[in-house]
């Protein structure tokens, strides 16, 4: 409750859009923007820029300007707030996405105390961001690699060897440095992005499995089905049947 007293909400929005209403905006207070699905390119005044997907939180400080452009249709959480805490400006990757999902689920269920729940969620996001910056070593090369994977994961021709070469290091060095920051290898990170996209398409569209495979970075529906089943414990058809509303 002490932390909640250090934060005042100025407003928040849960939405799903194909494009942002504004490509650029300035704020008198802190603001944050995070995707639940989809991805967006951003630039925060001061030089921080990149691509954000699920698990990323983009923060713009008071008096700052946030430019944003959707790369894919998004559902997202946007909040404006004042706080005595010092959230890190720019993009922060949250290591505990399970906790993030739990926070967002609370917003979905908020009814009579929506503002209080939103304040709790924003406070928890700030605490997670502060901890992530405290615990994770900074690595600009890994940030560039992460942004590239977020933007290009749907390309079946994406090559981690080519990505490493473009960054001027060996694949082994990329894997080691990436895991030190993100907690998983770039191969696993890429697979998770693709499977997350497949989950979204299974839930939100009637597309065939072959179409979903191609839009998720795989050429074969059979391969996607085998991979999906191995990593989730159930086939794509089960996910679609149990998650459609």
- Whether the CB-CB separation of 133 and 181 falls below 8 Å is answered with no
Q: What is the pLDDT of residue 245?
A: 58
Q: Please write the tens of the pLDDT for every residue from 116-129.
A: 889 999 999 999 99
The mean per-residue pLDDT over the stretch 89-99 comes to 87
Token pair in block for residue 73: 């249709």
Token pair in block for residue 215: 């839009």
Q: What is the pLDDT of residue 2?
A: 42
C-alpha to C-alpha distance for 233 and 195, rounded to whole angstroms: 13
Residue 137 has pLDDT above 60, yes or no: no
Q: What is the pLDDT of residue 175?
A: 92
Q: What is the pLDDT of residue 212?
A: 95
Q: What is the pLDDT of residue 7?
A: 85
Q: What is the pLDDT of residue 3?
A: 47
Q: What is the pLDDT of residue 207?
A: 94
Q: Please write the tens of the pLDDT for every residue from 174-194.
A: 998 888 777 788 999 899 899
DSSP string across the chain: -TTGGGEEEEEEEEEEESS-S-SEEE-SSEEEEEEEEEEEEEEETTTEEEEE-TTEEEEE-TT-EEEEEEEEEEEEEEEEEEESS-PPSEEEE-S-HHHHHHHHHHHHH--TTHHHHHHHHHHHHHHHHHHHHHHSPP-HHHHHHHHHHHHHTT-TT--HHHHHHHHTS-HHHHHHHHHHHHSS-HHHHHHHHHHHHHHHHHHH----HHHHHHHTT-S-HHHHHHHHHHHHSS-HHHHHHHH--
Q: Please write the tens of the pLDDT for every residue from 42-62.
A: 999 866 788 888 999 999 999
Number of C-beta neighbours around residue 18 at 10 A? 9
Q: H/E/C letters for each residue in 24-44? A: EEECCCEEEEEEEEEEEEEEE
- Whether the CB-CB separation of 61 and 30 falls below 8 Å is answered with yes
């Amino acid at each position: 409750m002490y932390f909640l007293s250090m934060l005042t909400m100025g407003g928040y929005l849960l939405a799903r859009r194909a494009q942002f209403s504004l490509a650029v905006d300035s704020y008198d207070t802190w603001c944050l923007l995070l995707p639940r699905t989809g991805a967006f390119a951003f630039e925060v005044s001061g030089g921080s820029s990149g691509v954000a997907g699920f698990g990323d939180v983009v923060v713009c400080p008071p008096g700052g300007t946030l430019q944003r452009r959707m790369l894919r249709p998004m559902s997202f959480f946007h909040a404006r707030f004042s706080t005595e805490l010092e959230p890190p400006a720019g993009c922060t990757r949250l290591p505990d996405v399970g906790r993030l999902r739990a926070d967002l689920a609370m917003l979905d269920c908020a009814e009579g105390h929506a503002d209080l729940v939103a304040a709790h969620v924003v406070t928890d996001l700030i605490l997670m961001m502060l901890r992530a910056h405290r615990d994770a070593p900074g690595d600009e090369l890994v940030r560039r690699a992460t942004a590239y994977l977020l933007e290009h994961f749907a390309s079946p021709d994406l090559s981690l060897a080519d990505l490493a070469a473009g960054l001027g290091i060996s694949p082994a060095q990329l894997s080691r440095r990436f895991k030190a920051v993100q907690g998983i290898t770039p191969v696993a990170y890429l697979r998770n992005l693709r499977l997350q996209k497949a989950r979204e398409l299974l839930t939100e569209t009637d597309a065939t499995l072959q179409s979903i495979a191609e839009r998720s970075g795989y050429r074969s529906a059979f391969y996607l089905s085998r991979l999906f089943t191995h990593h989730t414990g159930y086939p794509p058809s089960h996910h679609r049947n149990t998650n459609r509303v």
